[in-house]
Amino acid sequence: MQKQTLLTVAAALALTAGAAQAGRRCDVAKPTAPVIERGLGLAQRTAAELDQAYARDGTRVVLLARAGQDLTRYGQQWSHVGWAYRTPQGAWRVVHKLNSCGSDQSVVMRQGLGEFFLDDLWRYQASWRAAPRAWQDALWQLLQDNRRAVALHERRYNMVSYAWGTRYQQSNQWAIETLALAADPQVHQRVQAQAWLRLKDYRPATLRVGALTRLGGRITAGNIAFDDHPSAQRFADRIETVTADSVLAWLDRLSAAAAPKGGGMTI
């Protein structure tokens, strides 16, 4: 299993396992044998599917989704995405943003597939989409560059950050803004990345979150805030944020328009 590393502006620094999770508090308990077995099994099946995609049409960067939490009450199937890429040696690595133990801070990490799925997942399934062919090579190069991979990373984390805001940034938001950075040489800041995403017809999800739920979340969780959302939307209980499902749907629309080879599936 690969050692997970924190991507910093200076270099990749080693971290201990379990130092961060996607919007969840750190659990001091060690993973149980069944959790490890199921997570590694899912990683193995995912690797096999991705290897087949690479052999079929050269796909070497995909958006990989997992179901770490039950978000069905919000109409969402997947909770977290990261960019998986194939190394020149033939292994698959995942670069993704993680929340630091339920706090308002975050890190960007590089992990193996085993570590990506080594969590007490709500559902042991995965879904992936090939990165758009026109930007795949640029994204592949960016993901291996420690400096560029964190160029648009905002450490202030908010699980429900406003899709078109820059005060905070959540994991799925980092993923699509980083795609914009790779795709367009004119993108250097988050506001430019978001303008590019609007131009490419990305549509964030609108979650129905009532006032009592918002109040409870803001008081009890350090990684939840609503103060970056426009007041009119917030008071109407409409929280516009970047969800894994909305990103997968967007990539499906891009693929349909470009009609490239490749694709994705649920495992």
Distance CA(96)–CA(92), nearest Å, equals: 13
pTM greater than 0.75: yes
Domain residue limits, the chain: 5-258
Distance CA(44)–CA(40), nearest Å, equals: 6
pLDDT at 101: 82
pLDDT at 3: 35
Per-residue tens of pLDDT for the chain, all 267 residues = 333 333 332 223 222 233 456 655 565 567 889 899 999 999 999 999 999 999 999 999 999 999 999 999 889 999 999 999 999 999 999 999 999 888 899 999 999 999 999 877 999 999 999 999 999 999 999 999 999 999 999 999 999 999 999 999 999 999 999 999 999 999 999 999 999 999 999 999 999 875 434 433 443 456 888 899 998 887 778 899 999 999 999 999 998 876 544 444 455
pLDDT at 102: 81
Distance CA(55)–CA(61), nearest Å, equals: 13
Identify whether the C-beta of residue 128 lies closer than 8 Å to the C-beta of residue 264: yes
Structure tokens belonging to residue 17:
């396992």
